[in-house]
């Protein structure tokens, strides 16, 4: 397509678009078969697939939000690094607060009435895009067929219900899946999924409304919060659980310090710094920038859960991109 047509469709000046598109061709996203004419590559054509729509929302979120936050990270470290694990939500400050000039927490900000249409709804869709390809891998780690008619599985912070709907397709008939999240998110989810029960719930205010469920499930929730705030989230679940209830946490379990120790020489550094380290490193930096939080090691998960009365029973999928930590009341 000629740059003039792209410019017209995008509503952007040609000279700006040429710089952008030529930079993308350097990393095999688009190509320029003739001067000022651009075409898809096998990589960029994926962007036109309707199945990729939610992932496009994730990319737009990262460009529009995460990249902006990154520019304020060093200033945030100077101001608040020593308070990382020792504050509650009202006092939490991060690079996000500096970048967006707000005292609100990230989630309160994107779900506020004035911001939900630009940030909140797109973030919800983006999380579907991030999760879709990983769902089967994660759920294959755990046997969901052990639950029986009348049992309840509560997906806390379950967003639009795409995770809960996947679980609903794996359990026996009669097992109820309850998806809990903020009211605005729940309303959006009800228009998408009918195989789960949606329930508004703010895990910072009030008791867990579902008592004695077989499973309380947290997926990619606790990595968004420092330790002390995680304890605030976990305590109501501990109080709601019966002796045979399980807490399932789907998160990364980052390997310990010995895994990261590389660089005896240049070759060791090049050979040792592979995709797994890069992925875990980026994830941890992202959590730190936006939330003053982190991805946790096995020892850190044990310490956190023990501090609020849980014992780790088993960890499924240590070597995978995500793990499931099964815990029970001590």
Active site residues: 223
Q: What distance in Å separates the CA atoms of residue 302 and residue 204, rounded to the nearest whole number?
A: 22
Lookup: tokens for 243: 């002796």
Q: What distance in Å separates the CA atoms of residue 281 and residue 320, rounded to the nearest whole number?
A: 15
Q: What distance in Å separates the CA atoms of residue 154 and residue 183, rounded to the nearest whole number?
A: 16
Q: Which of 160, 137, 158 lies closest to 215 in space, CA to CA?
A: 158
Contact 218, 247 (CB under 8 A): yes
DSSP of 226-283: -HHHHHHHHHHHHHH--TT-EEEEEE-EE--HHHH---SSHHHHHHH--HHHHHHHHH
Q: What distance in Å separates the CA atoms of residue 139 and residue 35, rounded to the nearest whole number?
A: 48
Q: Which of 245, 50, 232, 251 lies closest to 141 in space, CA to CA?
A: 251
* CA-to-CA separations, 291 to 59, 76, 150, in angstroms, rounded: 19, 11, 37
Q: What distance in Å separates the CA atoms of residue 44 and residue 29, rounded to the nearest whole number?
A: 5
């Amino acid at each position: 397509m000629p740059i003039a047509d792209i410019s017209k469709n995008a509503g952007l000046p040609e000279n700006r678009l040429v710089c952008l598109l030529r930079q993308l061709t350097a990393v095999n996203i688009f190509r320029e078969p003739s001067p000022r004419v651009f075409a898809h590559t096998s990589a960029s054509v994926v962007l036109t697939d309707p199945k990729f729509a939610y992932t496009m929302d994730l990319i737009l979120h990262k460009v529009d939000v995460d990249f902006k936050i990154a520019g304020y990270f060093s200033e945030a470290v100077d101001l608040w690094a020593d308070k990382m694990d020792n504050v509650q939500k009202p006092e939490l400050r991060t690079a996000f607060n500096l970048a967006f000039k707000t005292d609100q927490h990230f989630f309160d900000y994107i779900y506020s009435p004035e911001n939900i249409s630009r940030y909140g709804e797109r973030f919800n869709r983006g999380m579907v895009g991030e999760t879709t390809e990983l769902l089967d891998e994660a759920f294959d780690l755990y046997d969901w067929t052990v639950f029986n008619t009348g049992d309840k599985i509560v997906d806390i912070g379950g967003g639009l219900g795409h995770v809960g709907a996947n679980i609903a397709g794996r359990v026996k008939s009669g097992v109820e899946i309850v998806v809990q999240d903020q009211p605005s998110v729940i309303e959006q989810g009800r228009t998408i999924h009918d195989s789960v029960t949606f329930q508004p719930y703010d895990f910072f205010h009030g008791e867990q409304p579902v008592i004695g469920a077989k499973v309380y499930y947290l997926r990619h929730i606790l990595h968004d919060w420092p330790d002390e705030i995680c304890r605030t989230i976990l305590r109501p679940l501990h109080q709601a659980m019966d002796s045979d209830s399980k807490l399932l946490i789907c998160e990364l379990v980052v390997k310990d310090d010995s895994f990261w120790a590389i660089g005896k020489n240049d070759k060791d550094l090049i050979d040792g710094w592979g995709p797994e380290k890069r992925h875990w490193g980026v994830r941890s930096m992202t959590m730190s920038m936006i939330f003053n939080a982190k991805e946790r090691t096995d020892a850190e998960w044990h310490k956190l859960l023990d501090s609020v009365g849980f014992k780790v029973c088993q960890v499924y999928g240590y070597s995978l991109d995500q793990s499931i930590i099964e815990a029970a009341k001590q």
